[in-house]
Amino acid sequence: MKFTLSWLKDHLDTDASLEQIVERLTSIGLEVESVDDKAALKPFVIAKVLTASRHPDADKLQVLTVDTGDGKPVQVVCGAPNARAGLIGAFAAPGAYVPGIDVTLSVGKIRGVESHGMMCSERELQLSDEHNGIIDLPADAPVGTSFATYAQLDDPVIEINLTPNRPDATSVHGIARDLAASGLGKLIYGAVEPVDGEGACPVKVSIEAPELCPGFALRLVRGVNNGPSPKWMQQRLLAIGLRPINALVDITNYVTFDRGRPLHVFDAKKVAGNLVVRRGRDGDKVMALDGREYVLTPEMCVIADDNGVESIAGIMGGEHSGCDENTTDVLIESALWDPITTARTGRALGIITDARYRFERGVDPEFMVPGVELATKLVLELCGGQPTKTDVTGYAGYTAKVVSLPLSEIKRLTGIEVPKAESLAILTRLGFMPKGDGDVVDVTVPSWRPDVDGKADLVEEVMRIHGVDNIAPQPLGAHDAVNGKILTTLQIRTRSARRALAVRGMMEAVTWSFIPAKHAELFGGGQDSLKLSNPIASDMSDMRPSLLPGLIAAAQRNADRGLSDVALFEVSGVYENDTAEGQRRVAAGVRRGTAKLEGSGRNWSGNSGNVGVFDAKADAIAALEACGAPIDRLQIEIGAPAWYHPGRSGVIKLGPKVVLGTFGEFHPRTLEGLDVSGPLCGFEVYVDAVPEPKAKPTKTKPKLELSAFQAVKRDFAFVVDKAVEAGTLTRAALAADKKLITAVSVFDIFEGASLGEGKKSIAIEVSIQPVEKTLTDQDFEALAARIIDNVKKQTGGVLRS
């Protein structure tokens, strides 16, 4: 919403400065977006050409002496054909910035003759496109004074960023009302006097869609002379960015801003028959005033005559019945339009107009008829003519809302005590009508405030006018104890997983929740219920089923920039379905190139090899450990999802059912589908699948039992079939004596012809911790026999000879 200071002062009697007004507007909730104080025009003064003679070296230039008002004429070289002795125009001295040519003037020589300034054209001052000559002012223009002031171009323009709840402030009058209520001057009421008319309006209106049009006022003015509007009106419209068209159109625009009352004018001679307000019909089209054709639907409201659609209700009129300089009979429309339909129609057609802006917020129904009267008055003043009576159709009148306001509510919600008298005075100045003497008053809401429904709304009115700055901060009641834990288990695990993975040299990425459909499909997603209907880009269409595609693509982007060894992770949401429960919390990571835990690339102490399945496995287990998963009970199995390399990937489980994660290298087809290359591995663990820790009555740790007997290590090497998994073998060894054997580790894997076809050797180190007595040789032999026995039973392996 834009307006000028002088326009505001038509409605507000105030001595306040521009700065005060701007500051107050913001502080009462009408946030000032920008102020143009027209300082750019300050350097230009009115000056008179005393003499003009031909430039000695240029046919098209003249050398002028110019009186700028200080009694010392200056010499100016000028190329304008209308420059002549006696002309009074706008002069810019050296040092002035001329916006139209983007030049700061200095004393210069033009073809050998010094020039001490410039006589300017309208275009050079960015007043218009006029550049056929310099500005030519009437003979009584006061030489030496400000050109902007003389031409009334120094009127500051204020733009406010209006919140959608304030239709009343879409008018200069409404803004003045708010400022007056805040004590910054007096509102000039400017009641609209009805203009008498003769005879009924010959064009009748029938409303076939009353739910979309709660009222329609129409009046005909015959015999108008539609020339340009007066300069003062043109200047105000230009100042707020509107192009003057002709008096009739300019009047509608003027009233739209002056009173927040959009109007439309039809050239009555172009209207065939009567007007019908109805929903659009399939096949309806209209060429609108913006010169574009729009196709209308039954969700939209239109005004039609016998020729078809003449106007898109509340948004834009049609070109066919628009007013131009030949218009002699004008129909003035002031109607009410359903806000939601107006908003939807405007959105669907992509039309933003000042009318839509107001109707979708809600136009004051009680100003529908005064709107016609005001417009008629202006038409008669500017264009002449004879009006008919105003014909009002469908308007049932306005029933005011009454809100019961306990005055204590102001203190309850804001924390500040506003005296009752002041509260009531504020409401009254805003146009509310409070009634009652008690602590609860009934407040009648004015017709221009559809946003006010309840007592909280009235509290806001009192608060913003009384001044938010008057509310002193008060501490929120302190808690009476040391703060307890504020995070949920899931939140703690999310944080721990992040720090644990970062400590492993990985960098945390935040990638898009929506990914290309193809990527989603490669990772088990892509279902319709998780596809956006209106993605911002075609490759951001599907909610991700996994963090991996985003991370792999990110790794590739880095590789494309020459950073081929990267380790990235993310702890965030993935989407299995569109329910709240279907959003899983996942920790995932990828390593690319040689980005191993200990470092990447070449090094004098040994180069890093390519990343692989075991790097991913170690990351996965580290993440799970940080999440508090019982690491000693994890089961590693084959059978990871299809996007992994089937022989170099695994699933991490807890018991037969709970899948905690997957890890591995990727299937070549997956990488192909993602259009990436290079050594890559990755993992994904479900943070939300890790079981909650059991609540314990105490934080005491179990007693530390230290054996008095020396721990011993024994090595075994077994020859097994190649298919036997090391995990099976170590579990078998561990199970041989759960009391004595504390750990089993694999220290060598060997395959060779000496072992026989399809065989391999697995060497393990068994840690034995005697608990009751030092073990004898016989004890060790018996234990070894049990280990060998159990391994044979579980894996078919035999001790390597």
Partner 1 sequence: MSDLETLEQSLLSDIASAADEQAIEAVRVAALGKKGSVSEMLKTLGAMSPEERQTKGPVINGLKNRVTDALTARKSELRDVAINARLIAEKVDVTLPVRQSPAERGRIHPISQVIDEIAAIFGDLGFAIAEGPDVETDHYNFTALNFPEGHPAREMHDTFFFPPDANGERKLLRTHTSPVQIRTMETQKPPIRIVIPGKTYRQDSDATHSPMFHQVEGLVIDKTANIANMKWVLEEFCKAFFEVPSVKMRFRPSFFPFTEPSLEVDIQCDRSRPGEVRFGEGNDWMEILGCGMVHPNVLRHGGLDPDEYQGFAWGMGIDRIAMLKYGMPDLRAFFDADVRWLQHYGFRPLDIPTLFGGLSA
Rg (CA), the chain: 42
Min CB(355)–partner 1 separation in Å? 14
For residue 73, what are the contacts with CB-CB under 8 A and spacing of at least 6? 50, 65, 66, 67
Q: Which is nearer to partner 1, 20 or 794 (CB)?
A: 20
Reference 721, options 785, 636, 798, 639; nearest CA is 798
**Alpha helices (H) in 80-218, listed in sequence order:** 147-150, 172-181
Q: Which is nearer to partner 1, 206 or 491 (CB)?
A: 491
- Residue 454 has, within 13 A of its CA and on its CB side, a CA count of 2
Min CB(631)–partner 1 separation in Å? 19
Q: Which is nearer to partner 1, 237 or 553 (CB)?
A: 553
Interatomic CA distance for residues 140 and 137, integer angstroms:
8
Q: Which is nearer to partner 1, 239 or 571 (CB)?
A: 571
Q: Which is nearer to partner 1, 288 or 567 (CB)?
A: 567
Q: Which is nearer to partner 1, 326 or 533 (CB)?
A: 533
Tokens of 183: 């004590």
Tell me 313's DSSP state: T
Tokens of 364: 């004051």
Min CB(444)–partner 1 separation in Å? 19
Min CB(725)–partner 1 separation in Å? 29
Chain position carrying tokens 């417009």: 375
Interatomic CA distance for residues 204 and 217, integer angstroms:
10
Q: Which is nearer to partner 1, 214 or 599 (CB)?
A: 599
Determine the length of the chain.
Answer: 801
What sign results for the dihedral spanned by CA atoms 542, 544, 549, 554? positive
What order do you get walking across the sheet with 74-78 strand by strand?
74-78, 62-67, 45-54, 88-92, 118-119
- Strand segments, DSSP code E, in 100-210 are 103-104, 108-110, 113-115, 118-119, 157-161, 186-187, 205-207
Min CB(102)–partner 1 separation in Å? 24
Chain position carrying tokens 């001295």: 93
C-beta pairs of 146-149 under 8 Å, 24+ apart in sequence: 146/41, 146/42, 146/44, 146/45, 146/46, 147/41, 147/44, 147/45, 147/46, 147/90, 147/91, 148/38, 148/41, 148/42, 148/44
Reference 355, options 270, 449, 242; nearest CA is 242
Min CB(578)–partner 1 separation in Å? 5
Across 367-382, b (16+ Cβ under 10 Å) vs e yields bbbbbbbbbbbbbeeb
Min CB(597)–partner 1 separation in Å? 6
Min CB(209)–partner 1 separation in Å? 16
Report strand pairing: 12-13 vs 2-4.
unpaired
- Residue 105 has, within 13 A of its CA and on its CB side, a CA count of 25
Q: Which is nearer to partner 1, 236 or 498 (CB)?
A: 498
Min CB(787)–partner 1 separation in Å? 36
Interatomic CA distance for residues 491 and 182, integer angstroms:
48
CB atoms within 10 A of CB 149: 16
Q: Which is nearer to partner 1, 244 or 339 (CB)?
A: 339
Report strand pairing: 567-575 vs 507-508.
parallel
Q: Which is nearer to partner 1, 172 or 554 (CB)?
A: 554
To the question of whether residue 457 is assigned a binding role by annotation, the answer is yes
Chain position carrying tokens 């759960």: 738
Tokens of 578: 């569109």
Min CB(406)–partner 1 separation in Å? 9
Contact of 235 with 153, CB cutoff 8 Å: yes
Q: Which is nearer to partner 1, 412 or 713 (CB)?
A: 412
To the question of whether residue 528 is assigned a binding role by annotation, the answer is no
Interatomic CA distance for residues 310 and 4, integer angstroms:
33
For residue 65, what are the contacts with CB-CB under 8 A and spacing of at least 6? 49, 50, 51, 73, 74, 75, 76
Tokens of 115: 């020039």
Q: Which is nearer to partner 1, 532 or 711 (CB)?
A: 532
Chain position carrying tokens 């290590």: 713
Q: Which is nearer to partner 1, 36 or 457 (CB)?
A: 457
Min CB(284)–partner 1 separation in Å? 22
The conformational region for residue 629 under phi > 0 = left, psi -120 to 50 = alpha, else beta, is beta
Min CB(557)–partner 1 separation in Å? 7
Min CB(571)–partner 1 separation in Å? 8
Report strand pairing: 205-207 vs 275-279.
parallel
For 651, 769, 790, the CA distances from 746, given in Å and listed in that order, are 20, 18, 17
Q: Which is nearer to partner 1, 212 or 248 (CB)?
A: 212
Min CB(747)–partner 1 separation in Å? 24
Q: Which is nearer to partner 1, 61 or 626 (CB)?
A: 626
Min CB(566)–partner 1 separation in Å? 5
Interatomic CA distance for residues 217 and 194, integer angstroms:
13
To the question of whether residue 211 is assigned a binding role by annotation, the answer is no
Q: Which parts are annotated binding residues for Mg(2+)?
A: 451, 457, 460-461
Q: Which residues are annotated as a binding site?
A: 451, 457, 460-461
